[in-house]
């Protein structure tokens, strides 16, 4: 079945540091890939998405590129802020399914 694997957290960075959160997936067909963010005490917010190979999703300084050859969708940001502290979830939606499959989440803590 479909699965998503994320790097374990927490990831602790200083403000303005470079961020990478790794995500790899297993799926049949050609899934769409997503990054969601969850701030403390809140629901999930869509951060960015990519629907086909080599697409780059971007939003609020975050980027991720759909790499079919490595089945990866790593999240990057050039300069993190304290306000980026949250839990980040990688997810996929396969062609034949009507649901998202999520990774276990990666907690990011940014220190001033």
Partner 1 sequence: DAGVTQSPTHLIKTRGQQVTLRCSPISGHKSVSWYQQVLGQGPQFIFQYYEKEERGRGNFPDRFSARQFPNYSSELNVNALLLGDSALYLCASSPEGGARNTIYFGEGSWLTVV
Positions touching partner 1 (CB under 8 A) are: 4, 32, 36, 42-46, 49, 51, 89, 91, 93-105
DSSP-based three-state secondary structure for 77: strand
Q: Please state, in angstroms and rounded to a whole number, the distance separating the CA atoms of residues 82 and 27.
A: 34
Q: Closest CB to partner 1 among 72 and 93?
A: 93
Q: Please state, in angstroms and rounded to a whole number, the distance separating the CA atoms of residues 24 and 72.
A: 4
- Please state the closest distance from residue 15 (CB atom) to partner 1, in A: 26
β 75-77/62-65 pair status: antiparallel
- Please state the closest distance from residue 31 (CB atom) to partner 1, in A: 8
Q: Closest CB to partner 1 among 18 and 30?
A: 30
Place of tokens 């869509």: 46
DSSP-based three-state secondary structure for 83: helix
Q: What is the DSSP letter of 112?
A: -
- Please state the closest distance from residue 44 (CB atom) to partner 1, in A: 4
Q: Closest CB to partner 1 among 4 and 19?
A: 4
Q: Closest CB to partner 1 among 53 and 99?
A: 99
């Amino acid at each position: 079945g479909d699965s998503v694997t994320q790097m374990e957290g927490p990831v602790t960075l200083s403000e303005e540091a470079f961020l990478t959160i790794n995500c790899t997936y297993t799926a049949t067909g050609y899934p769409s890939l997503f990054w969601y963010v969850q701030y403390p005490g809140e629901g999930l917010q869509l951060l960015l998405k990519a629907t086909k190979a080599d697409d780059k999703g971007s939003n609020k300084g975050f980027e991720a590129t759909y790499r079919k050859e490595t089945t990866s969708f790593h999240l990057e940001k050039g300069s993190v802020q304290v306000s980026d502290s949250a839990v980040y979830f990688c997810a996929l939606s396969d062609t034949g399914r009507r649901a998202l499959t999520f990774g276990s989440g990666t907690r990011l803590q940014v220190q001033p």
